[in-house]
Structure 1
């Protein structure tokens, strides 16, 4: 048991994300624990392989939502109560495109305790001088960076380039990955035209439906600061909706 607690502590310190399931009521093995990791692997057991398999699905959801609640399971004539706690990694915002909207968006996201990464192939825009609050500023083609980067349901992607040669390859990469929010700037007409081009390149309607475009909540935003606020509000709304 001490090994499980040590592993739990290590993952919490490394902010990798983990879920802990504890058997609190049942005919046997009360107190047994099961750890679930982001790659769906696990350590420990609740005393029954069938019960472990059922619990893992709920633990995977808790891992990314951060929920902590009691779950009830029935195996044959035996009832079990399992308390599942999720410890997701810190929320991350990746901003593709270092334009004027990205500056206030970085500030708002940092205020909300997001880890913020800026990616843009244009070295004149992607600078630490323009983004002093960003955790990371990367000068490279966004799709190439994201193809090699660890992404998770705790990751939000805001595509702000407004340029098909940047945003479409980026969207093709992230729509194949298990990420949270995906938003892309552009008018409704631009979003529809982009979706048609992406579908012709092999993306499915289900994948394209994941794109929030036009990006941001419709609050009548008229300047970069208001647009950044609308984007961040939509990201937060999506995050809480997914946690329910």
Structure 2
């Protein structure tokens, strides 16, 4: 890989932009293509071929593609999946290492500095801004999950309002069905559209009968991965 292509790839990932490195298997020439079909490199891909590359980026799909008399290897480089946890609570202490193990970049957001401490969350990105301010700055994208765990409307409600207006692929909130109903009523009164409210995973996590913080963390992470990847089995 030439230095300028490598630098462009590194810059795209730093900016959380998915790109594909397309290699002409005949000539060895390479081109970097982004999700808008813009290309940078030496291969000079045909305009008719670019939609296939863009679709591969959208589906996070790698492989060899034949186009006319050429063969190309499309290697998609998506940004890392990201989990933003609002609430430096006991459950978050179980969810952070589980999410890391699954390959997520994890940040914990909580303005309560007595809770958001390096001692409770070692080697974790701790953000002590108010949730809505933090989410505005972090700009959740299509590879970002947001989970609110505080059980406190003054934190959870602004989190949901900000997250639901973003491109986050998953928005979840802790709480029972009664709390969820009251929460939805509050958000409706604040003018949050029904189609956004329908995106909320609440009570958060798959219903696997989880009881302990570790089990609930597994249920939440499983639900996030299901939303990201989709089910692998279908009836019929």
Tell me what 2:186 maps to: 197
Partners in 2 of 1:19 and 1:113 — Cα distance?
Answer: 20
Q: Which residue of 1 aligns with 2:62?
A: 68
C-alpha distance in 2 between matches for 1:95 and 1:139? 12
Query: In 2 relative to 1, CA 33–195 (structure 1 residues): closer, same or farther, beyond 3 Å?
Result: farther
149-158 vs 122-131, greater mean Cα deviation:
149-158
Deviates more, 1:12-21 or 1:125-134: 12-21
Post-superposition Cα deviations, 1:45-87, rounded to whole Å, max 9, x if no partner, equal 5223x553x336414413xx3x2145688xxxx8998654321
Structure 1 residues 210 and 81, CA, compared in 2 at 3 Å: closer, same or farther?
farther
Q: CA deviation at 1:185?
A: 0.7
SS in 1 for 2:20: strand
| Gaps in structure 2 of 5+ consecutive residues | none
Contact kept, 8 Å, 2:5 with 2:32, in 1: the verdict is no
Check 1:35–1:85 CA distance in 2 against 1; reply closer, same or farther (3 A cut). same
**TM score, norm. by length of structure 1:** 0.78
| Residues 1-244 of structure 1 aligned to structure 2 (within 5 Å) | 2=2, 5-11=5-11, 14=14, 16=16, 17-21=18-22, 35-37=32-34, 40=36, 42-44=38-40, 45-48=44-47, 51-52=49-50, 54-55=51-52, 57-62=54-59, 65=60, 67-69=61-63, 84-134=74-124, 136-241=125-230
- Residue 123 of structure 1 and its aligned partner are, at CA, apart by 1.4
Q: Does the Cα contact within 8 Å between 1:15 and 1:88 map onto a contact in 2?
A: no
Contact 1:110–1:133 under 8 Å retained in 2: no
Q: Write out per-residue CA displacement over residues 166-205 of structure 1, whole angstroms, 9 at most, x where no aligned residue.
A: 1111111111111222111111222222223223322222
Aligned-residue Cα RMSD (Å) equals 3.2
Which segments of 5 or more consecutive residues in structure 1 lack a partner in the other structure? none
**C-alpha distance after superposition, 1:11-65 (max 9, x if no partner):** 477484322346779xxxx988653336x362245223x553x336414413xx3
Query: For the Cα contact (< 8 Å) 1:161–1:167, is it kept in 2?
Result: yes
Quick one: distance in 2 between partners of 1:145 and 1:117? 10
| TM-score normalised by structure 2 residue count | 0.80
Distance (Å, rounded) in 1 between the aligned partners of 2:188 and 2:194: 7
